Amino acid sequence: MNDWLLYVLSAAALAFAVSSWWGVRKLKALHIRSAVHEEAHETGLTQQRVVVILNPVKARAPEAKEAIRRACLTAGWDEPLFLETTAEDPGYSQARSALDYKADVVLVGGGDGTVRVVAESLAHTDVAMGLIPLGTGNLLARNVDLDVNDLHANVHTALFGRQRYIDTARMGIENSRTGHSSEHVFLVIAGIGMDAEILADTNAGLKKAVGWLAYTEAGMRHLPGRRRKVSVALDDKPEQVRNIRSVLFANCGLVPGGIDFIPEAMIDDGMLDVVVMSPRSAIGWLAMYAKILFKHKGNLPIMTMYRAGRIVIKCPEPMPTQIDGDTSGLATKLTVRVEPRSLLIRVKGQPA
DSSP string, 106-146: EEEEE-HHHHHHHHHHHTTTT-EEEEEE-SSS-HHHHHTT-
Contact 161/347 with Cβ under 8 angstroms? yes
Alpha carbon distance 320, 110 (integer Å)? 25
Alpha carbon distance 87, 296 (integer Å)? 43
What pLDDT digit, counting tens, does each position of 242-262 carry? 999 999 999 998 876 667 778
- Indicate the helix (H) or strand (E) that contains 193: strand 189-193
Reported pTM: 0.84
Please give the torsion angle defined by the CA atoms of residues 324, 326, 328 and 333, in that order, rounded to the nearest 10 degrees.
40
pLDDT of residue 225: 77
Stretches in the chain below the pLDDT threshold 70: 1-38, 212, 215, 222, 256-258, 296-298, 350-352
Contact 15/234 with Cβ under 8 angstroms? no
CA 199, 110, 342 angle in degrees (round to 5)?
85
For residue 33, count other CB atoms closer than 10 A to its CB. 10
